[in-house]
């Protein structure tokens, strides 16, 4: 398993406006590239807010998958590499069509790998899974289909998380300007 890369100089802060703008960029780019989604799957916890925005912008059905990876949410915690997934709200019908899998960050790639494997097992033949993230750490082994802030080397604090610990230097990420593809 690869490790997340941190320079430990400061933490990046994402504002609520930036998160909304980045989700809109992802929704537009993903729809143009892959077509309108039938489902948007939020990777809980971090992917819920951007996935909700993307589902609203595209008119897709929102579902949630819970993936537990990190032993704690403390800054600079390295991931364990062991990911457990639980899908909620699935019915008797298999997942089908175009599916956007949304998370806030791709740290190592292990969560997205586990989630897409779990979803693939629930999907009917011909289902297309596309991963979308707001951020990607420079140490991530894989690449989401689309991401906004790529190759980050610092911890990222999102608006839905607790603020930084006392004494941690924080900088606001530059505004979302483009979407990156592998």
Domain regions of the chain by residue span? 27-70+83-161
For residues 51-55, give the mean pLDDT.
Answer: 98
CB atoms within 10 A of CB 104: 26
User: What's the average model confidence in pLDDT over 60-82?
Assistant: 72
Neighbouring CB atoms inside 10 A of 1's CB total 11
pLDDT score of 30: 98
Asked: is 27-70+83-161 a CATH 3.40.50.2020 domain? The reply is yes
Cβ of 80: how many Cβ atoms within 10 Å? 13
Does residue 82 carry a pLDDT above 80?
no
| pLDDT band at residue 142 using 50, 70 and 90 as cut-offs | confident
Answering whether pTM is above 0.95, one says: no
pLDDT, residue 90, reads 52
- How many C-beta atoms lie closer than 10 Å to residue 125's C-beta? 6
Looking at residue 151, its pLDDT comes to 96
Phi/psi-derived region of residue 181, left when phi > 0, alpha when psi is between -120 and 50, beta in every other case: beta
Residue in 123, 91, 103 with CA at minimum distance from that of residue 41 = 103
With CA atoms as reference, report the closest residue to 35 among 97, 112, 95, 103. 97
């Amino acid at each position: 398993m690869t490790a997340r890369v941190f320079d430990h100089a400061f933490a990046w802060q994402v504002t609520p406006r930036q998160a909304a703008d980045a989700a809109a960029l992802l929704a537009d780019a993903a729809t143009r590239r892959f077509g309108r989604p039938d489902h948007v799957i939020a990777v809980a916890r971090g992917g819920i807010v951007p996935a909700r925005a993307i589902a609203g912008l595209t008119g897709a059905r929102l579902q949630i998958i819970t993936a537990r990876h990190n032993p704690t949410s403390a800054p600079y915690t390295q991931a364990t590499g062991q990911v457990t997934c639980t899908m909620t709200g699935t019915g008797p019908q298999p997942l089908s069509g175009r599916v956007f899998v949304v998370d806030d960050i791709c740290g190592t790639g292990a969560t997205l790998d586990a989630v897409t494997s779990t979803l693939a097992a629930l999907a009917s033949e011909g289902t297309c899974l596309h991963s979308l993230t707001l951020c990607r750490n420079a140490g991530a082994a894989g690449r989401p289909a689309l991401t906004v802030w790529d190759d980050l080397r610092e911890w990222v604090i999102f608006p839905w998380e607790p603020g930084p610990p006392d004494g941690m230097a924080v900088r606001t990420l530059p505004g979302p300007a483009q979407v990156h593809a592998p």
